[in-house]
Structure 1
């Protein structure tokens, strides 16, 4: 339940940020954050990207999607992961394997929070 509330909080925060006007002033860049999720399965690389305030991108192999469809893809992967910055990589890996990526080879998640702290989770099948 707590993780679901966190996901809802992240989505609410993303919605608030999307409704806010973008600005490049130095002090306002302090609140910028980003999320990168990379998954490799059977040699195909999948990548979800979010940059505040409203840039979404999804890549599957050579195919790149931006905009609302990429946002939908990001929301889906956050639900699958039950994303929580305090979670361990093994939990993320198990959730991915149980959902859309049973033959998972690699996971790399990088989250820059609003305090400019980088959180990183990396997992490789062979290690």
Structure 2
């Protein structure tokens, strides 16, 4: 009986792990991806070119390779590329995570089939 509990427990852990992998962002589905967030004070920019070129700019500071990929992964937790627009909830969440006073966000993607997509969000001028 103990063996069955262990096997069932292991199966549950394995299924949970596999479901996390399915939800992970797939860089290889993209040929190019660029995200720009402009705040009142600074411009942030992430760029990816397949297969493994990552760059992150914050003002005049440029970071490349793994640190840039980690930053890109982080910002993509807020931006859902499966949605047709960047909505106000996305902007709220970005601002809550530290990107204060966002003026606009631009996302440009070229997938591996050369299909181009753009998302643009601009704060309404009051």
Equivalent of 1:88 in 85, 90, 97: 85
Moved over 3 A (4+): 4-7
Task: Note closer, same or farther for the CA distance 1:5–1:125 as it changes in structure 2 (3 Å cut).
Answer: farther
* Cα distance, 1:93 vs structure 2: 2.3
DSSP-derived class of the 2:105 partner: strand
- Flag the structure with larger Rg: 2
TM-score normalised according to structure 1 size: 0.71
Unpaired runs of 5+ in structure 1?
18-30
Task: Note closer, same or farther for the CA distance 1:121–1:7 as it changes in structure 2 (3 Å cut).
Answer: farther
> Match of 1:118?
116
Aligned mates of 2:34, 2:98 — CA distance in 1 = 18
Unpaired runs of 5+ in structure 2?
1-19
DSSP-derived class of the 2:47 partner: strand
Superposed CA RMSD in Å reads 2.3
2:55–2:65 Cα contact (<8 Å) kept: yes
Number of residues of Structure 1 aligned to a counterpart in Structure 2: 105
1:57–1:71 Cα contact (<8 Å) kept: yes
Deviations along 1:28-54, one digit per CA (max 9) or x if unpaired, are xxx761110000112300001111000
2:84–2:119 Cα contact (<8 Å) kept: no
